[in-house]
Amino acid sequence: MSGEESFQNKHWRAFWTHSWLLFWAFGFSFVVAILSLATPFFMLLVYDRVLNARSIETLMALTLIASLLIVAMGFIDYARRRLLVRFAVAIQRDLEADLLLLPPYSTNSNEQNSLGLGRLDALRAFVQSGGLLNLVDVVWIPIFVGIVFIISPIIGLLSLLGLACLGAVFFSGRFLTSNLRHSAEQISKQATGAMRTLEKSGVWLSGQYGGDSKAKWLLDKRRLSRNASVNSNDIAVGFNVALSTIRWLFAVFVISAGAGLVLGNQLTIGGMVASVVMLNRVFLPFLAFLKTIPGLRQCRENWSVIGATFAQRHRADHRIAVAPVKGAPVLELRDVHLRAGLTQEPLLEQLNMKIGRGKIVQIEGPAGCGKSVMGETMVWAARPFSGMVLIGGVRASVLSADELAKTIGYVAEIPVFVKGSLADNISGFDQAEDRAEIQRAAQFAQIHRQILELPQGYQTQIDELGLPLAKSMRELLALARAVYRQPDLLVIDQPSTYLSDVFLPQCTETLKAYVASGGSLVLLERRASTLPFKSDLYRLAQRRCRLVHGNKQTQDAVLLMAGGG
Protein backbone atom coordinates (compact mmCIF):
# COMPACT_ATOMS: atom_id res chain seq x y z
CA MET A 1 0.00 0.00 0.00
CA SER A 2 1.45 3.38 -1.01
CA GLY A 3 1.93 6.30 1.34
CA GLU A 4 -0.98 8.21 -0.13
CA GLU A 5 -3.29 5.21 -0.01
CA SER A 6 -2.57 4.72 3.68
CA PHE A 7 -4.94 7.53 4.61
CA GLN A 8 -7.70 6.75 2.14
CA ASN A 9 -10.59 5.21 4.08
CA LYS A 10 -8.37 4.80 7.12
CA HIS A 11 -11.40 4.96 9.40
CA TRP A 12 -13.05 2.08 7.55
CA ARG A 13 -9.85 0.01 7.72
CA ALA A 14 -9.77 0.57 11.48
CA PHE A 15 -13.42 -0.44 11.62
CA TRP A 16 -12.86 -3.71 9.76
CA THR A 17 -9.66 -4.45 11.66
CA HIS A 18 -11.59 -4.55 14.92
CA SER A 19 -14.92 -5.66 13.47
CA TRP A 20 -14.47 -9.13 15.00
CA LEU A 21 -15.29 -7.53 18.36
CA LEU A 22 -18.47 -6.11 16.86
CA PHE A 23 -19.40 -9.43 15.26
CA TRP A 24 -18.95 -11.25 18.56
CA ALA A 25 -21.11 -8.62 20.29
CA PHE A 26 -23.82 -9.07 17.67
CA GLY A 27 -23.50 -12.84 17.95
CA PHE A 28 -24.01 -12.61 21.68
CA SER A 29 -27.03 -10.40 20.97
CA PHE A 30 -28.52 -13.32 19.03
CA VAL A 31 -28.03 -15.57 22.06
CA VAL A 32 -29.51 -12.93 24.38
CA ALA A 33 -32.59 -12.65 22.14
CA ILE A 34 -33.09 -16.42 22.18
CA LEU A 35 -32.61 -16.65 25.94
CA SER A 36 -35.06 -13.79 26.50
CA LEU A 37 -37.79 -16.19 25.38
CA ALA A 38 -37.20 -18.23 28.52
CA THR A 39 -39.54 -16.14 30.67
CA PRO A 40 -42.66 -16.19 28.40
CA PHE A 41 -42.24 -19.91 27.67
CA PHE A 42 -41.74 -20.60 31.37
CA MET A 43 -45.00 -18.81 32.15
CA LEU A 44 -46.77 -20.61 29.30
CA LEU A 45 -45.68 -24.01 30.62
CA VAL A 46 -46.47 -23.15 34.23
CA TYR A 47 -50.01 -21.98 33.52
CA ASP A 48 -50.90 -24.60 30.92
CA ARG A 49 -49.00 -27.66 32.12
CA VAL A 50 -47.78 -27.42 35.71
CA LEU A 51 -50.97 -26.00 37.22
CA ASN A 52 -53.10 -28.52 35.40
CA ALA A 53 -50.82 -31.43 36.32
CA ARG A 54 -50.28 -30.04 39.84
CA SER A 55 -46.69 -31.40 39.71
CA ILE A 56 -44.20 -29.84 42.15
CA GLU A 57 -41.31 -31.77 40.58
CA THR A 58 -42.04 -30.32 37.12
CA LEU A 59 -42.37 -26.82 38.57
CA MET A 60 -39.01 -27.09 40.35
CA ALA A 61 -37.32 -28.42 37.22
CA LEU A 62 -38.76 -25.64 35.01
CA THR A 63 -37.82 -23.01 37.61
CA LEU A 64 -34.24 -24.27 37.72
CA ILE A 65 -33.93 -24.34 33.94
CA ALA A 66 -35.48 -20.87 33.54
CA SER A 67 -33.25 -19.44 36.29
CA LEU A 68 -30.11 -20.85 34.69
CA LEU A 69 -31.12 -19.46 31.29
CA ILE A 70 -31.84 -16.00 32.73
CA VAL A 71 -28.51 -15.93 34.62
CA ALA A 72 -26.70 -17.03 31.45
CA MET A 73 -28.49 -14.27 29.54
CA GLY A 74 -27.24 -11.73 32.11
CA PHE A 75 -23.62 -12.85 31.73
CA ILE A 76 -23.82 -12.86 27.95
CA ASP A 77 -25.46 -9.42 27.94
CA TYR A 78 -22.59 -8.17 30.12
CA ALA A 79 -20.07 -9.74 27.75
CA ARG A 80 -21.55 -8.13 24.63
CA ARG A 81 -21.52 -4.72 26.28
CA ARG A 82 -17.88 -5.14 27.25
CA LEU A 83 -17.07 -6.15 23.67
CA LEU A 84 -18.71 -2.97 22.39
CA VAL A 85 -16.63 -0.87 24.77
CA ARG A 86 -13.44 -2.59 23.61
CA PHE A 87 -14.47 -2.05 20.00
CA ALA A 88 -15.04 1.68 20.56
CA VAL A 89 -11.75 2.09 22.43
CA ALA A 90 -9.82 0.22 19.73
CA ILE A 91 -11.24 2.47 16.99
CA GLN A 92 -10.40 5.57 19.01
CA ARG A 93 -6.88 4.34 19.73
CA ASP A 94 -6.19 3.71 16.04
CA LEU A 95 -7.52 7.03 14.76
CA GLU A 96 -6.97 9.68 17.42
CA ALA A 97 -3.24 10.22 16.76
CA ASP A 98 -3.82 10.92 13.07
CA LEU A 99 -6.80 13.16 13.81
CA LEU A 100 -4.74 15.10 16.34
CA LEU A 101 -1.72 15.51 14.10
CA LEU A 102 -3.47 17.07 11.14
CA PRO A 103 -1.12 18.25 8.43
CA PRO A 104 -0.02 21.89 8.24
CA TYR A 105 -1.67 22.36 4.84
CA SER A 106 -5.15 22.03 6.29
CA THR A 107 -7.36 25.10 6.33
CA ASN A 108 -8.31 25.95 9.89
CA SER A 109 -6.24 22.99 11.08
CA ASN A 110 -6.76 23.77 14.77
CA GLU A 111 -10.54 23.71 14.28
CA GLN A 112 -10.23 20.50 12.28
CA ASN A 113 -8.15 18.91 15.05
CA SER A 114 -10.66 19.61 17.78
CA LEU A 115 -13.55 18.76 15.46
CA GLY A 116 -12.14 15.35 14.52
CA LEU A 117 -11.24 14.39 18.08
CA GLY A 118 -14.59 15.61 19.38
CA ARG A 119 -16.43 13.51 16.79
CA LEU A 120 -14.33 10.49 17.70
CA ASP A 121 -15.10 10.96 21.41
CA ALA A 122 -18.81 11.26 20.61
CA LEU A 123 -18.68 8.02 18.61
CA ARG A 124 -17.00 6.18 21.46
CA ALA A 125 -19.54 7.52 23.95
CA PHE A 126 -22.43 6.43 21.72
CA VAL A 127 -21.09 2.91 21.24
CA GLN A 128 -20.33 2.56 24.95
CA SER A 129 -23.86 3.66 25.81
CA GLY A 130 -25.24 0.58 24.08
CA GLY A 131 -26.93 2.47 21.26
CA LEU A 132 -25.76 -0.12 18.73
CA LEU A 133 -27.40 -2.86 20.80
CA ASN A 134 -30.75 -1.14 20.38
CA LEU A 135 -30.17 -1.30 16.65
CA VAL A 136 -29.52 -5.04 16.89
CA ASP A 137 -32.35 -5.78 19.31
CA VAL A 138 -34.94 -4.11 17.09
CA VAL A 139 -34.18 -6.69 14.39
CA TRP A 140 -35.80 -9.33 16.59
CA ILE A 141 -39.10 -7.48 16.88
CA PRO A 142 -40.63 -9.11 13.74
CA ILE A 143 -39.69 -12.53 15.09
CA PHE A 144 -41.25 -11.82 18.48
CA VAL A 145 -44.36 -10.41 16.83
CA GLY A 146 -44.49 -13.56 14.70
CA ILE A 147 -44.42 -15.70 17.85
CA VAL A 148 -47.28 -13.63 19.29
CA PHE A 149 -49.21 -14.21 16.04
CA ILE A 150 -48.69 -17.94 16.46
CA ILE A 151 -50.10 -17.74 20.00
CA SER A 152 -52.98 -15.46 18.96
CA PRO A 153 -53.49 -13.60 15.65
CA ILE A 154 -55.74 -11.04 17.37
CA ILE A 155 -53.08 -10.12 19.95
CA GLY A 156 -50.52 -10.05 17.12
CA LEU A 157 -52.62 -7.47 15.25
CA LEU A 158 -52.92 -5.41 18.42
CA SER A 159 -49.14 -5.44 18.80
CA LEU A 160 -48.66 -4.20 15.21
CA LEU A 161 -51.20 -1.44 15.80
CA GLY A 162 -49.36 -0.45 18.99
CA LEU A 163 -46.01 -0.28 17.17
CA ALA A 164 -47.55 1.90 14.44
CA CYS A 165 -49.00 4.29 17.02
CA LEU A 166 -45.68 4.54 18.89
CA GLY A 167 -43.79 5.28 15.68
CA ALA A 168 -46.30 7.93 14.55
CA VAL A 169 -46.23 9.73 17.90
CA PHE A 170 -42.43 9.67 18.13
CA PHE A 171 -41.75 11.07 14.66
CA SER A 172 -44.49 13.70 15.06
CA GLY A 173 -42.80 14.87 18.26
CA ARG A 174 -39.38 15.01 16.63
CA PHE A 175 -40.75 17.03 13.73
CA LEU A 176 -42.56 19.56 15.95
CA THR A 177 -39.65 20.11 18.36
CA SER A 178 -36.70 20.18 15.94
CA ASN A 179 -36.99 23.88 15.02
CA LEU A 180 -37.54 24.94 18.62
CA ARG A 181 -34.52 22.97 19.82
CA HIS A 182 -32.32 24.44 17.11
CA SER A 183 -33.48 27.98 17.92
CA ALA A 184 -32.80 27.48 21.63
CA GLU A 185 -29.32 26.09 20.96
CA GLN A 186 -28.36 28.94 18.61
CA ILE A 187 -29.52 31.66 21.00
CA SER A 188 -27.78 29.96 23.92
CA LYS A 189 -24.52 29.64 21.97
CA GLN A 190 -24.67 33.31 21.00
CA ALA A 191 -25.19 34.46 24.58
CA THR A 192 -22.62 32.08 26.05
CA GLY A 193 -20.06 32.93 23.37
CA ALA A 194 -20.49 36.65 23.93
CA MET A 195 -20.13 36.25 27.69
CA ARG A 196 -16.96 34.17 27.38
CA THR A 197 -15.48 36.62 24.89
CA LEU A 198 -16.11 39.54 27.21
CA GLU A 199 -14.69 37.71 30.18
CA LYS A 200 -11.57 36.49 28.42
CA SER A 201 -10.83 39.79 26.74
CA GLY A 202 -10.97 41.69 29.98
CA VAL A 203 -13.69 43.96 28.62
CA TRP A 204 -16.08 42.56 31.21
CA LEU A 205 -14.52 44.76 33.87
CA SER A 206 -13.22 47.56 31.69
CA GLY A 207 -16.45 49.50 31.33
CA GLN A 208 -16.22 49.65 27.53
CA TYR A 209 -19.49 47.79 27.43
CA GLY A 210 -21.89 49.46 29.83
CA GLY A 211 -22.82 47.26 32.77
CA ASP A 212 -26.59 47.86 32.49
CA SER A 213 -26.82 47.54 28.72
CA LYS A 214 -24.48 44.55 28.68
CA ALA A 215 -26.44 42.78 31.40
CA LYS A 216 -29.75 43.60 29.68
CA TRP A 217 -28.50 42.20 26.37
CA LEU A 218 -27.21 39.00 27.95
CA LEU A 219 -30.32 38.52 30.08
CA ASP A 220 -32.54 39.10 27.06
CA LYS A 221 -30.65 36.46 25.07
CA ARG A 222 -30.83 34.04 27.98
CA ARG A 223 -34.56 34.70 28.33
CA LEU A 224 -35.15 33.96 24.64
CA SER A 225 -33.05 30.81 24.87
CA ARG A 226 -34.84 29.72 28.02
CA ASN A 227 -38.28 30.30 26.53
CA ALA A 228 -37.43 28.36 23.37
CA SER A 229 -35.94 25.58 25.46
CA VAL A 230 -39.02 25.43 27.72
CA ASN A 231 -41.37 25.32 24.74
CA SER A 232 -39.31 22.61 23.10
CA ASN A 233 -39.11 20.66 26.35
CA ASP A 234 -42.86 20.97 26.95
CA ILE A 235 -43.62 19.44 23.58
CA ALA A 236 -40.93 16.76 23.92
CA VAL A 237 -42.09 15.79 27.40
CA GLY A 238 -45.67 15.66 26.17
CA PHE A 239 -44.78 13.26 23.40
CA ASN A 240 -42.62 11.14 25.74
CA VAL A 241 -45.54 10.85 28.14
CA ALA A 242 -47.77 9.98 25.19
CA LEU A 243 -45.37 7.17 24.21
CA SER A 244 -45.44 5.72 27.71
CA THR A 245 -49.21 6.07 27.90
CA ILE A 246 -49.73 4.33 24.57
CA ARG A 247 -47.54 1.43 25.68
CA TRP A 248 -49.55 0.93 28.89
CA LEU A 249 -52.85 1.34 27.04
CA PHE A 250 -51.95 -1.42 24.62
CA ALA A 251 -50.85 -3.59 27.53
CA VAL A 252 -54.36 -3.17 28.93
CA PHE A 253 -55.89 -3.86 25.52
CA VAL A 254 -53.81 -7.02 25.12
CA ILE A 255 -54.76 -8.29 28.58
CA SER A 256 -58.41 -7.51 27.89
CA ALA A 257 -58.35 -9.17 24.49
CA GLY A 258 -56.49 -12.17 25.91
CA ALA A 259 -59.00 -12.52 28.74
CA GLY A 260 -61.86 -12.39 26.24
CA LEU A 261 -60.20 -15.07 24.16
CA VAL A 262 -59.71 -17.22 27.28
CA LEU A 263 -63.39 -16.83 28.20
CA GLY A 264 -64.28 -17.87 24.67
CA ASN A 265 -61.98 -20.88 24.90
CA GLN A 266 -59.90 -19.56 22.02
CA LEU A 267 -56.73 -19.07 24.11
CA THR A 268 -55.27 -20.64 27.22
CA ILE A 269 -54.36 -18.62 30.31
CA GLY A 270 -50.72 -19.51 29.74
CA GLY A 271 -50.94 -18.22 26.18
CA MET A 272 -52.45 -14.94 27.40
CA VAL A 273 -49.74 -14.40 30.02
CA ALA A 274 -46.97 -15.41 27.63
CA SER A 275 -48.30 -12.93 25.04
CA VAL A 276 -48.25 -10.09 27.55
CA VAL A 277 -44.68 -10.89 28.55
CA MET A 278 -43.65 -11.28 24.91
CA LEU A 279 -45.04 -7.86 24.04
CA ASN A 280 -42.61 -6.35 26.54
CA ARG A 281 -39.89 -7.78 24.29
CA VAL A 282 -41.60 -5.96 21.42
CA PHE A 283 -42.54 -2.55 22.80
CA LEU A 284 -39.53 -1.87 25.05
CA PRO A 285 -36.82 -2.53 22.39
CA PHE A 286 -38.89 -0.59 19.86
CA LEU A 287 -39.11 2.45 22.17
CA ALA A 288 -35.39 2.19 22.92
CA PHE A 289 -34.67 2.07 19.20
CA LEU A 290 -36.83 5.13 18.50
CA LYS A 291 -35.00 7.12 21.18
CA THR A 292 -31.68 5.98 19.67
CA ILE A 293 -32.49 7.27 16.18
CA PRO A 294 -31.15 10.82 16.82
CA GLY A 295 -27.97 9.26 18.21
CA LEU A 296 -27.64 7.03 15.16
CA ARG A 297 -27.98 10.03 12.86
CA GLN A 298 -25.34 11.92 14.83
CA CYS A 299 -23.15 8.83 14.78
CA ARG A 300 -23.38 8.65 11.00
CA GLU A 301 -22.56 12.35 10.70
CA ASN A 302 -19.56 11.99 13.03
CA TRP A 303 -18.28 9.03 11.03
CA SER A 304 -18.66 11.02 7.79
CA VAL A 305 -16.73 13.97 9.22
CA ILE A 306 -13.91 11.67 10.31
CA GLY A 307 -13.87 10.11 6.87
CA ALA A 308 -13.76 13.54 5.21
CA THR A 309 -10.82 14.49 7.43
CA PHE A 310 -8.84 11.46 6.31
CA ALA A 311 -9.85 12.04 2.69
CA GLN A 312 -8.47 15.57 2.97
CA ARG A 313 -5.23 14.21 4.32
CA HIS A 314 -5.13 11.57 1.59
CA ARG A 315 -5.33 14.22 -1.12
CA ALA A 316 -2.30 16.08 0.21
CA ASP A 317 1.31 15.24 -0.51
CA HIS A 318 2.79 16.53 2.76
CA ARG A 319 3.71 13.06 3.99
CA ILE A 320 6.75 12.88 1.71
CA ALA A 321 9.84 12.90 3.92
CA VAL A 322 11.37 16.18 2.79
CA ALA A 323 13.74 18.54 4.56
CA PRO A 324 14.69 22.07 3.47
CA VAL A 325 17.44 22.24 0.83
CA LYS A 326 20.78 23.42 2.12
CA GLY A 327 21.82 26.77 0.64
CA ALA A 328 18.37 27.62 -0.76
CA PRO A 329 16.61 30.90 0.17
CA VAL A 330 14.87 30.56 3.46
CA LEU A 331 11.63 31.82 1.88
CA GLU A 332 10.49 32.33 -1.69
CA LEU A 333 7.10 33.42 -3.03
CA ARG A 334 6.47 32.57 -6.68
CA ASP A 335 3.59 34.23 -8.47
CA VAL A 336 1.47 34.13 -5.31
CA HIS A 337 -2.15 35.29 -5.43
CA LEU A 338 -4.00 35.90 -2.17
CA ARG A 339 -7.62 36.60 -1.32
CA ALA A 340 -9.20 38.19 1.74
CA GLY A 341 -10.32 35.58 4.25
CA LEU A 342 -13.88 36.79 4.84
CA THR A 343 -14.90 38.27 1.50
CA GLN A 344 -12.70 36.12 -0.77
CA GLU A 345 -12.02 39.28 -2.75
CA PRO A 346 -8.65 39.43 -4.55
CA LEU A 347 -6.12 40.88 -2.13
CA LEU A 348 -2.66 40.37 -3.53
CA GLU A 349 -1.58 39.21 -6.96
CA GLN A 350 1.62 38.14 -8.70
CA LEU A 351 3.76 38.41 -5.60
CA ASN A 352 7.34 37.29 -6.19
CA MET A 353 9.89 37.61 -3.42
CA LYS A 354 13.04 35.90 -2.16
CA ILE A 355 14.38 36.21 1.37
CA GLY A 356 17.92 34.93 1.68
CA ARG A 357 19.52 33.54 4.79
CA GLY A 358 20.97 36.04 7.21
CA LYS A 359 18.64 38.83 6.05
CA ILE A 360 16.55 41.35 7.95
CA VAL A 361 13.50 42.47 5.97
CA GLN A 362 10.96 45.14 6.86
CA ILE A 363 7.64 45.33 5.01
CA GLU A 364 5.65 48.47 5.77
CA GLY A 365 2.21 49.52 4.67
CA PRO A 366 -1.02 51.10 5.90
CA ALA A 367 -3.78 49.21 7.67
CA GLY A 368 -5.85 47.06 5.34
CA CYS A 369 -3.20 46.53 2.70
CA GLY A 370 -2.72 42.83 3.37
CA LYS A 371 0.37 42.68 5.58
CA SER A 372 -1.07 40.12 7.98
CA VAL A 373 -2.31 37.88 5.17
CA MET A 374 1.13 38.11 3.57
CA GLY A 375 2.78 37.19 6.85
CA GLU A 376 0.46 34.25 7.45
CA THR A 377 1.19 33.04 3.92
CA MET A 378 4.91 33.27 4.55
CA VAL A 379 4.64 30.95 7.54
CA TRP A 380 2.06 28.71 5.84
CA ALA A 381 -0.66 29.62 8.32
CA ALA A 382 -2.76 30.86 5.38
CA ARG A 383 -2.93 29.25 1.96
CA PRO A 384 -2.44 31.23 -1.25
CA PHE A 385 -5.25 31.24 -3.76
CA SER A 386 -2.64 30.29 -6.32
CA GLY A 387 1.11 30.35 -6.69
CA MET A 388 3.82 28.61 -4.75
CA VAL A 389 5.43 29.16 -1.34
CA LEU A 390 8.90 27.66 -0.98
CA ILE A 391 10.47 27.28 2.45
CA GLY A 392 14.10 26.34 2.33
CA GLY A 393 13.75 25.56 -1.36
CA VAL A 394 10.91 23.08 -0.78
CA ARG A 395 7.20 23.57 -1.31
CA ALA A 396 5.59 24.38 2.01
CA SER A 397 2.81 21.88 1.26
CA VAL A 398 5.21 18.92 1.45
CA LEU A 399 6.92 19.87 4.70
CA SER A 400 5.86 18.17 7.89
CA ALA A 401 4.66 20.16 10.88
CA ASP A 402 7.97 19.50 12.62
CA GLU A 403 10.01 20.74 9.65
CA LEU A 404 7.89 23.89 9.47
CA ALA A 405 8.34 24.52 13.18
CA LYS A 406 12.09 24.10 12.88
CA THR A 407 12.30 26.40 9.86
CA ILE A 408 9.86 29.20 10.69
CA GLY A 409 8.93 31.03 13.89
CA TYR A 410 5.91 33.33 13.92
CA VAL A 411 4.74 36.04 16.29
CA ALA A 412 1.15 37.01 15.49
CA GLU A 413 -0.18 40.53 15.92
CA ILE A 414 -2.43 39.25 18.71
CA PRO A 415 -0.71 36.23 20.26
CA VAL A 416 -2.87 33.40 21.54
CA PHE A 417 -1.70 30.82 24.06
CA VAL A 418 -2.99 27.63 25.66
CA LYS A 419 -3.95 27.15 29.27
CA GLY A 420 -0.83 25.92 31.02
CA SER A 421 2.52 26.97 32.38
CA LEU A 422 4.93 29.41 30.80
CA ALA A 423 7.32 26.52 30.19
CA ASP A 424 4.62 24.57 28.34
CA ASN A 425 3.78 27.56 26.17
CA ILE A 426 7.38 28.33 25.28
CA SER A 427 8.18 24.71 24.40
CA GLY A 428 4.85 24.06 22.69
CA PHE A 429 4.28 21.08 24.99
CA ASP A 430 7.44 19.46 23.68
CA GLN A 431 7.58 16.07 25.44
CA ALA A 432 11.37 16.13 25.32
CA GLU A 433 11.53 19.69 26.55
CA ASP A 434 14.90 20.82 27.86
CA ARG A 435 14.78 23.50 30.56
CA ALA A 436 18.03 24.92 29.20
CA GLU A 437 16.44 25.33 25.76
CA ILE A 438 13.38 26.98 27.31
CA GLN A 439 15.58 29.42 29.19
CA ARG A 440 17.65 30.07 26.06
CA ALA A 441 14.49 31.05 24.16
CA ALA A 442 13.36 33.24 27.07
CA GLN A 443 16.76 34.92 27.23
CA PHE A 444 16.60 35.61 23.49
CA ALA A 445 13.24 37.33 24.07
CA GLN A 446 14.58 39.21 27.12
CA ILE A 447 11.89 37.72 29.37
CA HIS A 448 13.95 35.23 31.38
CA ARG A 449 14.61 37.59 34.29
CA GLN A 450 10.98 38.71 34.46
CA ILE A 451 9.84 35.08 34.61
CA LEU A 452 12.22 34.30 37.46
CA GLU A 453 10.76 37.21 39.41
CA LEU A 454 7.31 35.59 39.31
CA PRO A 455 6.38 33.54 42.41
CA GLN A 456 6.13 30.31 40.42
CA GLY A 457 8.68 31.15 37.77
CA TYR A 458 8.36 29.08 34.62
CA GLN A 459 5.47 27.13 36.20
CA THR A 460 3.28 30.25 36.31
CA GLN A 461 -0.11 29.41 34.82
CA ILE A 462 -1.72 31.54 32.09
CA ASP A 463 -4.94 31.39 30.08
CA GLU A 464 -5.52 31.59 26.33
CA LEU A 465 -4.88 35.34 26.28
CA GLY A 466 -1.75 35.12 28.38
CA LEU A 467 -3.39 36.59 31.45
CA PRO A 468 -2.44 37.51 34.14
CA LEU A 469 0.81 38.57 32.41
CA ALA A 470 1.26 42.19 31.39
CA LYS A 471 0.85 42.98 27.71
CA SER A 472 4.58 43.45 27.13
CA MET A 473 5.34 40.10 28.80
CA ARG A 474 2.73 38.38 26.64
CA GLU A 475 4.42 39.70 23.50
CA LEU A 476 7.84 38.58 24.69
CA LEU A 477 6.43 35.18 25.64
CA ALA A 478 5.10 34.77 22.09
CA LEU A 479 8.55 35.69 20.79
CA ALA A 480 10.22 33.15 23.07
CA ARG A 481 7.83 30.48 21.81
CA ALA A 482 8.62 31.42 18.20
CA VAL A 483 12.39 31.01 18.65
CA TYR A 484 12.28 27.89 20.88
CA ARG A 485 13.09 25.53 17.97
CA GLN A 486 15.77 27.92 16.66
CA PRO A 487 14.06 28.55 13.29
CA ASP A 488 15.83 29.81 10.20
CA LEU A 489 13.19 32.51 9.68
CA LEU A 490 11.43 34.62 12.28
CA VAL A 491 8.33 36.55 11.15
CA ILE A 492 6.85 39.20 13.46
CA ASP A 493 3.49 40.62 12.41
CA GLN A 494 2.81 44.17 13.55
CA PRO A 495 5.38 44.40 16.36
CA SER A 496 3.99 46.52 19.16
CA THR A 497 5.46 49.81 20.26
CA TYR A 498 7.21 47.91 23.03
CA LEU A 499 8.78 45.39 20.67
CA SER A 500 9.86 47.92 18.07
CA ASP A 501 10.96 50.78 20.36
CA VAL A 502 12.28 48.88 23.39
CA PHE A 503 13.03 45.28 22.56
CA LEU A 504 14.64 45.57 19.11
CA PRO A 505 17.09 48.39 20.07
CA GLN A 506 18.06 46.59 23.29
CA CYS A 507 18.68 43.26 21.58
CA THR A 508 21.03 44.44 18.87
CA GLU A 509 23.74 41.94 19.75
CA THR A 510 21.27 39.08 20.11
CA LEU A 511 19.71 39.77 16.71
CA LYS A 512 23.12 40.24 15.10
CA ALA A 513 24.19 36.84 16.42
CA TYR A 514 20.97 35.31 15.14
CA VAL A 515 21.48 36.80 11.67
CA ALA A 516 25.17 35.89 11.65
CA SER A 517 24.22 32.25 12.27
CA GLY A 518 22.06 32.31 9.13
CA GLY A 519 18.77 33.36 10.67
CA SER A 520 16.46 35.78 8.87
CA LEU A 521 14.00 38.26 10.34
CA VAL A 522 10.85 39.68 8.71
CA LEU A 523 8.97 42.57 10.31
CA LEU A 524 5.53 43.50 8.95
CA GLU A 525 4.75 47.04 10.15
CA ARG A 526 2.62 50.03 9.41
CA ARG A 527 5.74 52.11 9.69
CA ALA A 528 9.25 50.73 9.51
CA SER A 529 11.22 50.70 12.76
CA THR A 530 14.52 52.49 13.14
CA LEU A 531 16.89 49.56 13.45
CA PRO A 532 20.55 49.81 14.49
CA PHE A 533 21.59 47.49 11.65
CA LYS A 534 21.09 47.14 7.93
CA SER A 535 17.85 45.78 6.56
CA ASP A 536 15.91 45.52 3.31
CA LEU A 537 12.82 47.70 3.29
CA TYR A 538 9.74 46.97 1.19
CA ARG A 539 6.86 49.41 1.02
CA LEU A 540 3.27 48.63 0.15
CA ALA A 541 1.91 51.66 -1.66
CA GLN A 542 -0.14 52.38 -4.74
CA ARG A 543 -0.97 48.70 -5.08
CA ARG A 544 2.68 47.66 -5.29
CA CYS A 545 5.31 46.15 -3.08
CA ARG A 546 8.56 47.93 -3.87
CA LEU A 547 12.05 47.49 -2.55
CA VAL A 548 12.90 50.89 -1.08
CA HIS A 549 16.47 50.06 -0.15
CA GLY A 550 18.53 46.93 0.24
CA ASN A 551 21.35 44.89 -1.18
CA LYS A 552 19.27 42.85 -3.59
CA GLN A 553 16.85 43.77 -6.33
CA THR A 554 13.41 42.15 -6.25
CA GLN A 555 10.43 41.97 -8.53
CA ASP A 556 7.40 44.11 -7.92
CA ALA A 557 4.25 42.66 -6.44
CA VAL A 558 0.89 44.06 -7.45
CA LEU A 559 -1.50 44.65 -4.56
CA LEU A 560 -5.23 45.06 -4.78
CA MET A 561 -6.01 47.11 -1.69
CA ALA A 562 -9.07 45.20 -0.49
CA GLY A 563 -9.49 43.85 3.05
CA GLY A 564 -6.69 42.21 5.01
CA GLY A 565 -4.15 43.89 7.21
**pLDDT, tens digit (0-9, with 9 covering 90-100), for 363-373:** 887 777 777 88
**Per-residue confidence (pLDDT) for residue 318, from 0 to 100:** 43
Asked if the model's pLDDT at residue 157 lies above 80, the reply is yes
Asked if the model's pLDDT at residue 144 lies above 80, the reply is yes
Residue 214: pLDDT band (50, 70, 90) is: low
383/193: higher pLDDT = 383
Distance of alpha carbon 548 from alpha carbon 236, whole angstroms: 68
Q: Determine the average pLDDT of the residues in 410-437.
A: 82
Q: Where are the domains of the chain?
A: 1-142+301-319, 153-266, 331-559
CATH code of the domain made up of 331-559: 3.40.50.300
The 10 Å Cβ neighbour count of residue 456 is: 10
472 torsion bin: left (phi>0), alpha (psi -120 to 50), beta (else): alpha
Residue 280: pLDDT band (50, 70, 90) is: confident
Residues 6+ apart with CB under 8 A from 270: 43, 44, 45, 46, 47, 48, 49
- The helix (run of H) or strand (run of E) holding residue 352 is strand 346-355
Residue among 238, 274, 253, 241 at smallest CA distance from 161: 253
Asked if the model's pLDDT at residue 531 lies above 90, the reply is no
Residue among 373, 374, 372, 454 at smallest CA distance from 413: 372
User: Is the CB of residue 131 less than 8 Å from the CB of residue 29?
Assistant: no
Query: Which tens digits make up the pLDDT trace of 91-125?
Result: 888 888 777 665 443 434 344 444 667 788 888 88
Rounded to 5°, the CA angle 174-176-181 comes to: 75
- The helix (run of H) or strand (run of E) holding residue 311 is helix 269-315
Asked if the model's pLDDT at residue 76 lies above 90, the reply is yes
**Per-residue confidence (pLDDT) for residue 272, from 0 to 100:** 85
Identity of the highest mean pLDDT range in 66-80, 183-197, 323-337, 339-353: 66-80
User: Is the CB of residue 444 less than 8 Å from the CB of residue 510?
Assistant: yes
Q: Determine the average pLDDT of the residues in 136-142.
A: 85
| Rounded CA Rg of the chain | 34
**Exposure on the CB side of residue 230, measured as CA atoms within 13 A:** 6
Asked if the model's pLDDT at residue 296 lies above 70, the reply is yes
The 3-state secondary structure of 208-236, one letter per residue: CCCHHHHHHHHHHHHHHHHHHHHHHHHHH
Residue 3: pLDDT band (50, 70, 90) is: very low
Lowest mean pLDDT among 68-82, 201-215, 223-237: 201-215
